[in-house]
Amino acid sequence: MDWDPTKWIIYLLHHLTSQIPSVRRTPDAEVYRARERVLIESKPLLHPLPEPKALPSISRTQIKEIFRNSPVVVLDGYVVDVGAFSKEHPGGEGLLRAGYGGRDLSEGFRKLNYHTRHARGLMEDMRIAKVIDL
């Protein structure tokens, strides 16, 4: 049994006060990926990191044509589908909506806010293509 008193404190604060307005259960797969990342980062590199998943390549001009009005942004040279995540974005859906249609939001992702490893991991999982310059 996994005994974690902080879970109970959060649960009680959520139900008895307004200090924690919403609580969301993290999917088991996401917890597993986070644990794997912690294990990899805490150990010396004995084995090479796995290759990132193979992604199709797309040019910048094609992005605007193919993903017009779609919940897709460009971050750090990758096309990222943020549709399923936009409502959960801590900064609000509007920040991501500003980039819909394939606009490059890399500068804001890097400079305007420090994103955690978890946020970067989520972004990596949502990649759908690699941007190439022709």
Q: Are strands 127-132 and 57-59 parallel, antiparallel or unpaired?
A: parallel
Digit-coded pLDDT (tens) for 44-77: 655 554 455 688 999 988 998 898 889 999 988 8
Residue 66 located in a structural domain = yes
Q: Is the pLDDT of residue 129 over 60?
A: yes
Cβ atoms 94, 42 nearer than 8 A: no
Q: Is the pLDDT of residue 95 over 50?
A: yes
For position 1, what pLDDT does the model report?
47
Residue 72 shares a structural domain with residue 23: no
Residue 28 shares a structural domain with residue 79: no
Query: 66: how many CB neighbours lie within 10 A of its CB?
Result: 14
Closest C-alpha to 126, from 98, 84, 97, 87: 84
* Average of per-residue pLDDT values in the chain: 81
**CA angle, 59 then 54 then 86, to 5°:** 70
Identify the CATH number of the domain in which residue 76 sits: 3.10.120.10
d(CA 79, CA 122): 13
Residue scoring higher pLDDT (7 or 77): 77
